[in-house]
Structure 1
Amino acid sequence: MLHNDTIIALATPSGSGAIAVIRLSGKEAISIASSKFKSISGKSLAKQKTHTVHLGHIIDDPRVIDEVLVTVFKNPNSYTGEDVIEISCHGSLYIQQEIIQLFLRNGCRMANAGEFTLRAFLNGKLDLSQAEAVADLIASDSEASHQIAIQQMRGGFSNEIKHLRDELLNFASLIELELDFAEEDVEFANRDEFYKLITRIINVLKRLIDSFAVGNVIKNGIPVAIVGEPNVGKSTLLNALLNEERAIVSEIAGTTRDTIEDEISIGGIGFRFIDTAGIRETEDIVENIGIKKTFEKIEQAQVVIYLFDSTKFKSLSKKFKVELEKIKNKYPQKPLIVLANKIDKIDDSQLAKMQEEIPEIKLLSAKSGFGVEQLTSTLLNLINTGALRNNETIVTNTRHYDALLKAFEEVQKVKYGLDSGLSGDLLAIDIRQALYHFGEITGEITNDDLLGNIFANFCIGK
């Protein structure tokens, strides 16, 4: 991979707009830009201070392409750590392409996906976990996922890992030193202090590993399946949650033949609601396919909302309880919210009888909106967001999670070795492996294949 040439890319989304930003980075960025930029005041870009903005024209002699603002960032005080030029031009597709093509003909190369951030990593401006957080920040679509990405990009997660790694590395150095004086039978590393450190590292790793269960759903959204018999109001509930007519509603049973999905943010957390086909016995081939998909969506969901028609509870109570038990037994790990819909159509005695038979039931009138706010509160309570409020580190990246699991396994081996009185040379093997997995997270240990896989998922221009 070449990282010493000058690259160029569109930094704003493709398409027409009021303004577009074109970014150059590399040792020749300023000189190449200067050769095609004519300042209104006659200034030379090469002589200007860093973090300054200049008005002028991009010239392809003798043609003027556009009037632009050019921002100068000189190394090392730039995003990539190299000289960087950002050209703010008018957002015409034609103008964007003309400027990019002009610089490609004059010494620039088109940037690969994520290459600006890759250069920031290689030049020590970001560690690898911070670089990955840049992509997460761009992709964030809720308050919670944005907050996690910002914290990680600022180094909250990597600082915690680096601190643990540095402490472990200090003890590892002392144990390695003992190996050089094996014949003298001396101990440079205090085993009691080392044991305390290992115990603390295990506790921190366990907390970070456990946080992935929350972090992963916050980052990707929490799938919630709305299930029940036909015509109980599932589509009406979806429309009430989304506050729009997203699903078709009718009195005809089996109207929803396929799953309908949409996502909303509740309390900063993304929830993806899935309106499924009604579960019932039917000879309709198309409807049967929809019912099959319903059970597939229940498998994929992390929360299940079981909705039933409260006006039919008395006549169908036995059948309803059987269906409810089936779902509980088949998916014991999934939170189940039981909703009695259409409660505006039953009297107080019917309501009391229903609540007596099924104490966990929650009341709803999807048509009027009654109970929808309580439902959203219940959904939020299912998600442990205490870590967000306390600004604790939450792991959202699968690669980090995998490395933490491996580091945890190796540190546990070190603890077992200390408990068993293993010699320093055997302890050193497990310590080296733990240090390796810590280094994988921050990028202190890496390879071109890993970097290629990570940055291939970035957008061009970032």
Structure 2
Amino acid sequence: MILQDTIVALATPSGAGAIAVIRVSGPKAIEIVAPLFQSIKGKDLTKQKSHTLHLGHLVEDTKVYDQVLISLFKGTNSYTGEPTVEISCHGSTFIQQQIIQLLLRKGCRMATPGEFTMRSFLNGKMDLSQAEAVSDLIASDNEASHQIAMQQMRGGFSNEIAKLREELLNFASLIELELDFSEEDVEFADRTAFRELVNRIEFVLKRLIDSFAVGNVIKNGIPVAIVGEPNVGKSTLLNALLNEERAIVSDIAGTTRDTIEDELVINGIGFRFIDTAGIRETKDVVESIGIQKTFEKIEQAQVVLYLFESLKFKEQSSDYIIEIERIKNKYPQKPLVVVINKIDLLSETEIQNIKLQLETLNVKLQTISAKNKIGVEELKNALLNFVDTGALRNNETIITNTRHYDSLLKALEEIEKVKWGLDGNLSADLMAIDIRQALYYFGEITGQVTNDELLGNIFANFCIGK
């Protein structure tokens, strides 16, 4: 795919603002913009150095469009790896559209979503995994997802994959050489060293694959379902966690009839809290639908906060313990936090008795008063403990992209075939097939192996202008 035309798009968010940036990129970018630009110092834009700024007006015949600041990038010294002009104009939507229409009339084409970044990839300014990280960086809404995207964009992940691929490629070359001299029964590839490499590649691949579980929740937020009987304080807890009146709170049981969701960032990790309808027997059709949705949200959640009211729990502890065991058995893979609300109504001795009763259930217990915001910070800390952020603290590579995850799984499968072949003294020609496949899947990640359909799918998810 070779792109020879010149494209234009708004690089800043659409809508009115103080300043808007319109990006023009392609072989004729400077050639198209220069005749339209009148510098306040009479400069010829085509004769200016790269990476310079120029103040002037955009003019067509006698019509002045706006006073603008031109950023000039010549040759391959730009984000896209081709001549680029960025026009900083005033943020009126009318001015933005007038300038873009002017540039379209003069020979530009409207950029498709992600086309600037795709050109950057095609021109060798970044590999495919780095290009995908650009989209993740734009979408990052908390410290952890930002950190992961930055590491990937700076080449942390691709460098690790490229190094493994290069080492495997070196051995693959020796294996292929053995095939050329098959009649002479010579061995160019040291099988002991090759086995050590395969074991190391297997270890790295498994570590990267395992990191996806953490990376995926950090990227998309961790869904937490707040469930329990009606009127135990679920909506009050949601409001306390978010520190705002997000959910309606009432003494009337069944007030929440649908799920309410909102997000909160705790120590750089995004959590998506879901306040659900109270679980109880009811003949109300609408409330019944809400309760059904509650169980659907529990299925989708990664952590369940099961809320009980302290006085009711004290009076009917055996019934509630049976209920907790039922939820644990129904959702054995989901972390369950039992939250006893309204502890301000109990004495310290009564609180300790509840803790003793729940010790045998092997569940996380938190005692709070959502109304008075007692224990809410401790609950937030308990939620953080469900996220393994060790890799983040140690600046290790974390996988967040499903495409990368799929390619890593396939590469691991091929590497395990190679390992099996080594252990079984398989012939070089059969091992070579599996090595080639492993190299193919490594290349898929960084874009050394790609096609137009794959690129179209990846960059279609970008915003226009990036």
TM-score with structure 1 length normalisation?
Answer: 0.99
| 1:312, distance to aligned residue in structure 2 (A) | 1.1
In the TM superposition, 1:142-157 aligns within 5 A as 142-157=142-157
In the TM superposition, 1:56-67 aligns within 5 A as 56-67=56-67
Q: Secondary structure at the match of 2:133?
A: helix
In the TM superposition, 1:357-436 aligns within 5 A as 357-359=357-359, 360-436=364-440
Q: What letter is aligned with 1:222?
A: I
Tell whether 2:249 aligns with 1:249: yes
Q: What letter is aligned with 2:183?
A: E
Tell whether 2:71 aligns with 1:71: yes
Q: Secondary structure at the match of 1:358?
A: helix
> Which residue of structure 2 aligns with residue 183 of structure 1?
183
> Which residue of structure 1 aligns with residue 83 of structure 2?
83
Q: What letter is aligned with 2:342?
A: K
CA distance in 1, matches of 2:11, 2:331: 46
CA distance in 1, matches of 2:351, 2:152: 49
CA distance in 1, matches of 2:126, 2:313: 59
In the TM superposition, 1:316-331 aligns within 5 A as 316-331=316-331
CA distance in 2, matches of 1:288, 1:98: 54
CA distance in 1, matches of 2:353, 2:126: 62
After TM superposition, the structure 1 stretch with the greater mean CA deviation from structure 2, 24-33 or 345-354, is 345-354
CA distance in 1, matches of 2:157, 2:282: 52
| 1:321, distance to aligned residue in structure 2 (A) | 1.1
| 1:53, distance to aligned residue in structure 2 (A) | 0.2
Residues 273-293 of structure 1 deviation map (CA, whole Å, 9 limit, x = unaligned): 000001111111111111000
Tell whether 2:459 aligns with 1:455: yes
Tell whether 2:351 aligns with 1:351: yes
| 1:194, distance to aligned residue in structure 2 (A) | 0.1
CA distance in 2, matches of 1:397, 1:304: 25
Q: Secondary structure at the match of 2:202?
A: helix
Moved beyond 6 Å, runs of 4+: none
Q: What letter is aligned with 1:89?
A: C
User: Unaligned 5+ residue runs, structure 2?
Assistant: none
| 1:361, distance to aligned residue in structure 2 (A) | 2.5
After TM superposition, the structure 1 stretch with the greater mean CA deviation from structure 2, 42-51 or 312-321, is 312-321
Q: What letter is aligned with 1:423?
A: S
Tell whether 2:127 aligns with 1:123: no
Q: What letter is aligned with 2:350?
A: Q
> Which residue of structure 2 aligns with residue 439 of structure 1?
443
In 2 relative to 1, CA 263–358 (structure 1 residues): closer, same or farther, beyond 3 Å? Answer: same
Q: Secondary structure at the match of 2:55?
A: strand
Q: Secondary structure at the match of 1:218?
A: helix
CA distance in 1, matches of 2:169, 2:120: 26
In the TM superposition, 1:160-199 aligns within 5 A as 160-199=160-199
CA distance in 1, matches of 2:9, 2:173: 45
Residues 153-200 of structure 1 deviation map (CA, whole Å, 9 limit, x = unaligned): 000000000000000000000000000001111011000000000000
Aligned length: 462
| 1:442, distance to aligned residue in structure 2 (A) | 0.2
Residues 57-103 of structure 1 deviation map (CA, whole Å, 9 limit, x = unaligned): 00011111100000001121100000000000000111101111111
> Which residue of structure 2 aligns with residue 284 of structure 1?
284
CA distance in 1, matches of 2:223, 2:353: 32
| 1:348, distance to aligned residue in structure 2 (A) | 2.6
CA distance in 2, matches of 1:180, 1:168: 19
CA distance in 2, matches of 1:66, 1:417: 69
Q: Secondary structure at the match of 1:357?
A: helix
After TM superposition, the structure 1 stretch with the greater mean CA deviation from structure 2, 306-315 or 151-160, is 306-315
> Which residue of structure 1 aligns with residue 229 of structure 2?
229
Q: Secondary structure at the match of 1:319?
A: helix
CA distance in 2, matches of 1:316, 1:260: 29
Q: Secondary structure at the match of 1:251?
A: coil
| 1:269, distance to aligned residue in structure 2 (A) | 0.4
| 1:226, distance to aligned residue in structure 2 (A) | 0.4
CA distance in 2, matches of 1:51, 1:361: 59
> Which residue of structure 2 aligns with residue 272 of structure 1?
272
After TM superposition, the structure 1 stretch with the greater mean CA deviation from structure 2, 342-351 or 240-249, is 342-351
| 1:2, distance to aligned residue in structure 2 (A) | 6.0
Residues 247-267 of structure 1 deviation map (CA, whole Å, 9 limit, x = unaligned): 011111111111000001001
| 1:352, distance to aligned residue in structure 2 (A) | 2.2
> Which residue of structure 2 aligns with residue 94 of structure 1?
94
CA distance in 1, matches of 2:126, 2:184: 44
Q: Secondary structure at the match of 2:381?
A: helix
CA distance in 1, matches of 2:440, 2:104: 41
CA distance in 1, matches of 2:266, 2:327: 26
Residues 306-340 of structure 1 deviation map (CA, whole Å, 9 limit, x = unaligned): 11001111322122112111110011010001111
Q: Secondary structure at the match of 1:395?
A: coil
Q: Secondary structure at the match of 2:316?
A: helix
CA distance in 2, matches of 1:179, 1:69: 62
